[in-house]
Chains A and B, each alone.
Chain A
Amino acid sequence: MGRPADPALTSAPGGGRIGELGRLWRTFSRNRVAVLGLALVGLVAAASVGAPILTSRSPYEQRAQERLQVPGERHLLGQDTFGRDVLARILFAGRVSLLVGLGSVVLGGAIGCVMGLVAGYAGGYAENAIMRVVDVLMAFPSLLLGLTVLAVLGPGLGKMILAIGLVLAPAFARVMHGAALALQRREFVEAARSAGATTPRILGIHILPNVLGEIVVLASLWTASAIRVEANLSFIGLGVSPPTPTWGNMIRDGTPHLLNAPWLSVFPGLAILVTVLAFNLLGDGLRDVFDPRLRE
């Protein structure tokens, strides 16, 4: 976590990095919602990373004579139109969702935080220019924005991460901007400045660690949104190209068979639901941990 340079982080009794982390963990572990969220996130991550261990079946192996088999003993969640094992495909598809979710949040978070910090600290013309663009982008539905960017970029995993990252960046920028504005008038920033600290140093060492809690909360909630947006884009057919399984394209392929093989769409959808719910729960719980005033 943050470096212990700030009075806000270190002045508490028993201060120091270890003490602070320990305190946060104790608060966290007492919060049932946060722990449930973390457990579910861990479960999803373990299932998708450990997919080759959990299933002996390949997500790509086709068996034409076994197409649309109902869930049963040999194939727990059934087989799709090409006779591929649905369970194996769901497990492997989790990798795409997690990669896109985390990747776009890291990318969008980095871009947005830099934008917000610069705007809040520089002020004047730069601030106005950056924040007006942020306002306009945030007034727009993220799905429409992501669709438009991806439509121009074309399909692919990296492009998907880039498109969703760009969509998330304004939201991070707004939070960082507010924080930078509020913090730069505080005494410890004044003190650092009068001691001759450079602007990048002040931003990186004094301001960033103070908003880290808020950023972690938002990152968790927005990972949930990113995974949902990814599912939407894959469902439309703009995601990672087949035959790579994603939950969105599995549902898309399953919809023509809703009448006779509903499991093709229902199970991948449950995977999305559980994953998004997990990150939402984690974010909600973390918010309570970092902001005791909101705790109920």
Chain B
Amino acid sequence: MPKYIAQRLLLSVPVFLAVVTIVFLVVRVIPGDPATAALGDYASKEAVDALRERMGLNASLPVQYGRFLRDLVRGDLGMSMITGASIRDQIAHALPYTVELTAVSILIGCALGVPVGVYTAVRRNRLGDYVGRVLSLTGLSVPAFYFGILLILLLAIWLQWLPAVGGGASDDAVDRSRHLVLPALTLGLIMTASVARLARSAMLNVLAQDYVRTARAKGLRERAVRLRHALRSALVPIVSVTGIWAVSLIGDSVTVEVVFARPGLGKMMVGAILQRDYTALQSVMVVYTGFVVAINLATDLVYGWVDPRIRH
């Protein structure tokens, strides 16, 4: 197991590098000049040239890439092209909000998704199964930002149980948790739909296996058969695909942060895009890449833990 962990840790380094490189290239290689884009189409040539120089865009691509990596290693994310503020400070402020949102949402998704999937598999083709399947297909189809709006309408505007917008006072844990509930439910319930659908088909697959019949034949109680024998091995595919859903949840968190006007990386990213602040955009993408790599790593580790072939 330690060897497996070390291996996975080492493997995530090149993945991180590769994505960061792609981000670097996308911003530079796609037609369109970031300096012109930032200043608008009517800017004078002198102004564009000056900005290009300041952004370091006049250097050759390999030189730019070298500088980019050097700054990254130093943790220097540069200054915003628009406001001149330190991007690292901005990210340091936004990051905790995004971390708490995604972590709680993923927890909700797993904690609800697996039991619902097991339940619908066991009750296959009965009422509970149909309801569960319709709900999970709806959850797969609804855009996260729209689901967020529906939850705001229901729980914040009509029932007035929870606050709709903002991140809450940063020094007040209760207020901050109350502000977290709606956005986390939005992302968490959507992830629940995907995980439940997957868990259902994984469970159905396993329940049809011979060893499950054997377990039943030797007189084990149904509960033990389902949980200790069936779910145990259904967890292997569930964990590996849950990682993919967790990564796509990161994407959805962008618009959810916008809907709930929460401070966070997503809101920062959208701001950077709308203001055409490419240095900020690039840095936010690097942080998101770190997120994705961390989730993939965590998935690998949980996978190693549930799959005995890797554990031993």
Contacts and interface: CB of A to CB of B under 8 A. Distances in A.
Given A152-B34, A154-B32, A276-B143, 5 more contacts: A133-B22, A151-B276, A228-B141, A269-B143, A281-B137
Interface of B: 15, 18-19, 22-23, 26-27, 30-32, 34, 37, 137-138, 140-146, 149-150, 152-153, 157, 247-248, 250-252, 254-255, 258-259, 269-270, 272-274, 276, 278, 281, 285, 288-289, 292, 296
A228 B143 contact: yes
A139 B296 contact: yes
A144 B257 CA distance: 14
Contact of B150 (A143, A235, A266, A277): A266
A117 B90 CA distance: 44
A139 B15 contact: yes
Contacts of B140: 280
Interface stretch (A41-49, A98-106, A120-128, A254-262): A254-262
Contacts of B23: 148
Given A152-B27, A153-B32, A144 B251 contact: yes
B254 A143 contact: yes
A236 B247 contact: no
Nearest to A149: B26
Contact of B259 (A139, A142, A255): A255
A273 interface: yes
Contact of B26 (A136, A152, A238): A152
A43 B189 CA distance: 28
Given A228-B141, A266-B153, A154 B18 contact: no
A140 B144 CA distance: 18
Interface in A262-295: 262, 265-266, 269, 272-273, 276-277, 280-281, 284
A144 B273 contact: no
Given A149-B26, A151-B273, A141 B250 contact: yes
B105 to A, nearest CB: 13
A154 B18 CA distance: 24
A164 interface: no
The 5 lowest CB-CB distance pairs between A and B, nearest first, are A141-B251, A143-B251, A269-B146, A276-B141, A277-B141
A273 B146 contact: yes
B40 to A, nearest CB: 11
20 contacts: A136-B19, A139-B296, A140-B289, A142-B251, A143-B252, A144-B250, A147-B269, A147-B270, A149-B26, A149-B30, A151-B276, A152-B32, A152-B34, A232-B254, A236-B254, A258-B149, A266-B150, A273-B146, A276-B142, A277-B138
Q: Which of A133, A147, A151 has the most CB of B within 10 A?
A: A151
A283 to B, nearest CB: 11
A224 interface: yes
A141 B26 contact: no
If over half of A's interface residues share one DSSP class (helix, strand or loop), that class is named, otherwise mixed; here it is: helix
A231 interface: yes
Contacts of B274: 236-237
A148 B26 contact: yes
A269 B251 CA distance: 19
If over half of B's interface residues share one DSSP class (helix, strand or loop), that class is named, otherwise mixed; here it is: helix
Contacts of A136: 15, 18-19, 22
Interface string A216-227: 000000001000
B255 A236 contact: yes
Contacts of A258: 149, 152-153, 157
Interface string A75-103: 00000000000000000000000000000
Contacts of B137: 277, 280-281, 284
A237 B137 CA distance: 27
A232 B253 CA distance: 11
Nearest to A224: B141
B18 A147 contact: no
A142 B22 contact: no
Contact of B281 (A133, A141, A151, A154): A151
B2 to A, nearest CB: 24
Contacts of B276: 151
B258 A236 contact: yes
A135 to B, nearest CB: 8
B307 to A, nearest CB: 20
Contacts of A269: 143, 146, 149-150
A262 B156 CA distance: 13
Contacts of A147: 254, 269-270, 273
Contacts of B149: 251, 255, 258, 265-266, 269
A92 B272 CA distance: 30
B69 to A, nearest CB: 17
Contacts of A251: 145-146, 149
